[in-house]
Amino acid sequence: MIRDTSIGAKLWITAVWAFTIFFVLNVIGIISTVIVSSLGTRWLGTWLPNAFTFNWYASAWREFQLGPVLFVTFQIAFTVVALSGLLGVTAAYAMARRDFPGKKLVMLLFLLPLLVPPITFGIPLATVLYQFNVGGTFWGVVLANLVPTVPFVILVMIPFIEQIDPKVEAAARVFGAGTFKLFVYVLMPMLIPGILASLLLVLVRTVAMFELTFLTAGPTSQTLVVSLYYSVFASGVRAVQSIDAMAVIYMVSTLVWLLVALRFVNPTQIVARGNQSAAAH
């Protein structure tokens, strides 16, 4: 009986590893195909293109006006990050430190934008924004992206705030610290790891968000992912290599921010830093 269990466990582990390797190889294959295509001069049914060149990147940069698109992308992303941090951290503090009627219902409302597909609430949201003449503008895209990002910051920060001993805040108030000084000089040093983690993930999420941005963006407020979509499906003949070059630029820009986020998002390190800061105070 023990032998059968051992064989079953080995088969299960083998199946999991086989699926994982198959999935990783497929992802690598897809990405490699796009990268090779973006560097190839001609590619007609062979394993590799006839020759390689970086000219397609320069062509994509000019043809799709990637300079202004990238500027708008990060302008929107950093605005969303700033507002998400301001609104999310303060709301998370109130949720973590205050008990009030309907608190569980409010938490459920915060969860809904994260659980429901963006396209589900994105269409009525875009309709409302266009009715108030905000849709199709920079601030329309920002407001639409705040709907899922603010709850995300709140849910990340609540447990981080709850682990800070309220006695630390009480002691600071005894020594005359007001609300502003309490937050800046006492809470902020302990919350910085959590804030960095949540805001960096918000940055990555905003850059990669397609549905809400697509529904609310105008000609001058398109992010890179939306511009990539329009480039693929726009009328006219475009070189596949040029579109693939644009896709690679999008992947690299997102990957850079994701790697930066992963540098700060280790939950074990976050909790350890928070506990150390609380103990020090």
Residue numbers in the chain where pLDDT is lower than 70: 1-5, 45, 235-237, 264-281
Q: What is the pLDDT, as a whole number, of residue 264?
A: 63
pLDDT at 213: 93
Domain borders along the chain are 1-53, 58-280
- Quick one: pLDDT at residue 281? 45
* Contact between 38 and 244 (Cβ < 8 Å): yes
- For helices 55-63 and 240-264, angle between their N-to-C axes, nearest 10 degrees: 90
At 25 the pLDDT is 93
pLDDT at 235: 60
For position 236, what pLDDT does the model report? Answer: 64
**CA-to-CA distance for 153 and 176, rounded, in angstroms?**
30
pTM (2 decimals)? 0.78
> Alpha-carbon distance 49 to 36, whole Å?
8
CA distance 261 to 257: 6
Topology of domain 58-280, per CATH?
A: MetI-like fold (1.10.3720)
Tokens standing for 134? 């905000």
